[in-house]
Chains A and B, each alone.
Chain A
Amino acid sequence: MARPAKACPLCEGGIRVLNYKDERTISRLMTEQGKILPRRMTGMCARHQRQTTTAIKRARYLALVPYVKGYAD
């Protein structure tokens, strides 16, 4: 079945380049546990998905977002 094109949330939001410091946007692109959401869930365009992966990985390293959420510490 042909599915209607889902608009890329970042293009819609007017974000050209996703920055790793943009915690608010980044956390919307992750699951509850802190996994990166796949494109089939978000409808993101390829370009922004690539930016998202680097941004999330950088943000994780800087402890802005968790690697694994809810992991007992």
Chain B
Amino acid sequence: MYEAVYIFKTEIAEEQINEKLERYHALITGENGGEVTATDHWGRRQLAYPIRKQSAGYYVVSQFEAPAVALPEFERLLKLDEDLLRYMVVLNWGEPTAAMSIQTRADRKTDDDDEDDDGMPMIRADREED
């Protein structure tokens, strides 16, 4: 399971972005037999620092399943795209997190009440000061 974040220039239209995404994802799904499980448009967002003289970018996050052999070609295409300010492809480890935007993360539910207090004796204390 991989996760990719794309940051596009804000000048380009939304349809163009969708078109590009389709082109990227075609490399994953096509004959490589991968599958895009989620795509989330965060939309326009202020960048924390300017990238290529741009102060804002259009963020898109997508998650997909793909064989490793499909990735070099996929990343090559991303690298060549001039309208893509930045991209990042990472392994999505841990629990499969939903492609949530920052706004929706605010109301994340906290549901693991167990965890970490499974009868492990606290082994700290009295080994300092000598």
CA distance A2 to B90 in the complex (A): 41
Q: What is the interface residue range for chain B against chain A? A: 20 to 34
Contact B112 A14 (CB under 8 A): yes
Contact B105 A11 (CB under 8 A): no
Contact A17 B110 (CB under 8 A): no
Query: Is B100 an interface residue, CB under 8 A from the partner?
Result: yes
Within 8 A of B (CB), among A58-73: 58, 60-67, 71, 73
Residues of A within 8 A of B86 (CB): 61-63
CA distance A73 to B113 in the complex (A): 45
CA distance A23 to B7 in the complex (A): 16
Residues of B within 8 A of A1 (CB): 128-129
Kindly supply a per-residue 1/0 record for chain A positions 8-26, scoring 1 wherever the CB is within 8 Å of any chain B CB and 0 otherwise.
0001011111011111100
Q: Which residues of B contact A (CB under 8 A)?
A: 5, 7, 47-51, 57, 59, 61, 86, 88, 90, 93-95, 97, 100-102, 105-106, 110-113, 115-116, 122, 124-126, 128-129
Q: List 10 A-B contacts (CB under 8 A).
A: A14-B110, A14-B113, A17-B94, A17-B95, A20-B90, A21-B5, A24-B102, A61-B88, A63-B49, A67-B48
Contact A63 B95 (CB under 8 A): no
Contact A5 B124 (CB under 8 A): yes
Contact B128 A2 (CB under 8 A): yes
Q: What is the interface residue range for chain A against chain B? A: 20 to 34
Residue of chain A at shortest CB distance from B117: A11
Contact A2 B126 (CB under 8 A): yes
Q: How far is the CB of B83 from chain A (nearest CB, A)?
A: 16
